[in-house]
């Protein structure tokens, strides 16, 4: 073997060692990026699950409060026309629905509007978040709304 051939092989060996080190460094960077993306995805899923669960809690609370408020009928209207359509006592229905919300979820914010024919309850809950917190929002507001109509008497029996 001549001197030029030995030098060429030595240079090839040196290049191979550098190439392997470079490949290892690229693998480390890719691994770090994949781990960061996976952690971000888990955090977003956790925030989404927490927001969804809080929305369901607010919706159930609004439904129940609207039903409770719809049960407060105006006794004067019922006495004056027992066969007529039932009418709500708006002031009492609003108070009952708001009290229901605050009794079952102390930190909830109820917004209740009642007319003689209908009651609408909107419940707002605060949710601490994990990932969105890093972007400057540590608490999100989740709201749900429900309405109900007054009914009186017994339901007609089915077939």
The string of pLDDT tens digits covering residues 46-99 is 888 999 999 999 999 999 999 999 999 988 888 898 888 889 999 999 999 999
Residue 156 lies inside a defined structural domain of this protein:
no
Identify the domain containing residue 67 by its residue range.
3-148
Residue 42 lies inside a defined structural domain of this protein:
yes
Residue 91 lies inside a defined structural domain of this protein:
yes
Residue 34 lies inside a defined structural domain of this protein:
yes
Q: Number of folded domains in the chain?
A: 1
- Specify the pLDDT at position 87: 92
Instruction: Tell me the average pLDDT across 111-119.
Output: 95
Residue 103 lies inside a defined structural domain of this protein:
yes
Q: Which residues does 146 contact at the CB level (< 8 Å), separation at least 6? A: 59, 62, 63, 65, 66, 120, 121
Distances (CA, A) of 8 to 4, 19, 21, 22, 46: 6, 16, 20, 21, 57
């Amino acid at each position: 073997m001549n001197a030029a051939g030995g030098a060429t092989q030595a240079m090839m060996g040196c290049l191979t060692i550098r190439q392997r080190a470079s490949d290892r460094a690229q693998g480390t960077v890719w691994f770090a990026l994949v781990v960061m993306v996976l952690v971000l995805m888990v955090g977003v899923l956790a925030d989404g699950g927490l927001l969804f669960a809080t929305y369901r809690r607010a919706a159930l609370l609004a439904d129940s409060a609207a039903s409770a408020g719809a049960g407060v009928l105006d006794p004067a209207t019922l006495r004056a026309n027992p066969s007529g359509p039932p009418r709500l006592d708006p002031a009492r229905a609003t108070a009952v629905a708001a009290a229901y919300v605050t009794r079952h979820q102390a930190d909830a914010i109820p917004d209740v509007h009642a007319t003689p024919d209908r009651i609408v309850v909107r419940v707002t809950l605060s949710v601490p978040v994990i990932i969105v917190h890093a972007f400057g929002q540590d608490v999100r507001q989740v709201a749900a709304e429900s309405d109900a109509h007054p009914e009186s008497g017994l339901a007609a029996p089915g077939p």
